[in-house]
Structure 1
Amino acid sequence: MGLYIEARIHAELDLLWDRTQDPAQHQRWDLRFTTIDYLPRAEGEPQHFRYATRVLPFLSVAGTGVSAGETERPDGTRTSALRFASPHPLSLLKEGGGYWRYVPEGDGVRFLTGYDYRPRWGRFGRVADRFLFRPLMVWATAWSFDRLRLWLERGITPERALWNWLAELAVRALVLTAACVGIFQGPGHAASLMFAIPPLLLVAACLALFASPLPCVPAARRCVRRAPARARAPRLTRTLETPR
Structure 2
Amino acid sequence: MKARPIYVAIRMKADMQALWEHTQQPDLHRQWDLRFSDIDYLPRRAGEESQRFLYRTRIGFGLSIAGTGETKATFEGDKGRRLSTLAFGSEQRLSLIRRGGGYWKYEACENGELLFATRFDYETRFGALGKWADILLFRPLFGYATAWSFDRLRLWLEKGISPAVSAEKAILHYSAVALLVLLWLYQGVVPKLLYPGYGELDLLRQTGWLNGWEEVALPLLGAAEAALAFLIGFMHRKRWVYKLQAGLLLALGMAAVTGIPELLRDPFNPLTLSLAMAGVGLAASRTAEGLPNAANCRRRPVKPNEKARRLRPT
TM-score, with length taken from structure 2: 0.70
Query: Is 2:107 the counterpart of 1:103?
Result: yes
Query: Is 2:64 the counterpart of 1:39?
Result: no
Which amino acid counterpart does residue 40 of structure 1 have in structure 2?
P
Task: Give aligned pairs, total.
Answer: 230
Which amino acid counterpart does residue 59 of structure 1 have in structure 2?
L
Q: Which gives a bigger RCO, structure 1 or 2 (Cα 8 Å, sep 6+)?
A: 1
In structure 1, the partner of 2:67 is 63
**Aligned 8 A contact 2:192 2:221 in 1:** no
Change (3 A) 1:58 1:209: same
User: What SS does the corresponding residue of 1:71 show, helix, strand or coil?
Assistant: strand
Structure 1 segment 12-31 matched on structure 2, within 5 A: 12-31=15-34
Question: Root-mean-square deviation (CA), in Å?
Answer: 1.6
In structure 1, the partner of 2:232 is 207
Q: Compare the two structures and name the one with the higher helix fraction.
A: 2
Stretch of structure 1 that moved more, 94-103 or 200-209? 200-209
**Aligned 8 A contact 1:33 1:52 in 2:** yes
Give the deviation of 1:6 after TM superposition: 0.5
Supply the distance in 2 between the matched residues of 1:142 and 1:157 (Cα, whole angstroms).
17
Which amino acid counterpart does residue 101 of structure 1 have in structure 2?
K
Gaps of 5+ in 1: 231-244
In structure 1, the partner of 2:249 is none
Query: Is 2:232 the counterpart of 1:158?
Result: no
In structure 2, the partner of 1:234 is none
**Aligned 8 A contact 1:93 1:119 in 2:** yes
Stretch of structure 1 that moved more, 174-183 or 139-148? 174-183
Which amino acid counterpart does residue 211 of structure 1 have in structure 2?
H
Give the deviation of 1:43 after TM superposition: 4.3
**Aligned 8 A contact 1:146 1:220 in 2:** yes
Supply the distance in 2 between the matched residues of 1:172 and 1:71 (Cα, whole angstroms).
44
User: What SS does the corresponding residue of 1:113 show, helix, strand or coil?
Assistant: strand
Supply the distance in 2 between the matched residues of 1:37 and 1:72 (Cα, whole angstroms).
26
In structure 1, the partner of 2:290 is 216
TM-score, with length taken from structure 1: 0.89
**Aligned 8 A contact 2:89 2:100 in 1:** yes
In the alignment, which of 180, 186, 200 is matched to residue 181 of structure 1? 186
Which amino acid counterpart does residue 207 of structure 1 have in structure 2?
I
Gaps of 5+ in 2: 205-213, 239-287, 305-314
In structure 2, the partner of 1:138 is 143
Identity of aligned residues (%): 39
Supply the distance in 2 between the matched residues of 1:196 and 1:130 (Cα, whole angstroms).
42
Which amino acid counterpart does residue 136 of structure 2 have in structure 1?
F
Question: Deviation string for 1:99-157 (max 9, x for gaps)?
Answer: 01011112220110000000111010000000000000110000000000010111111
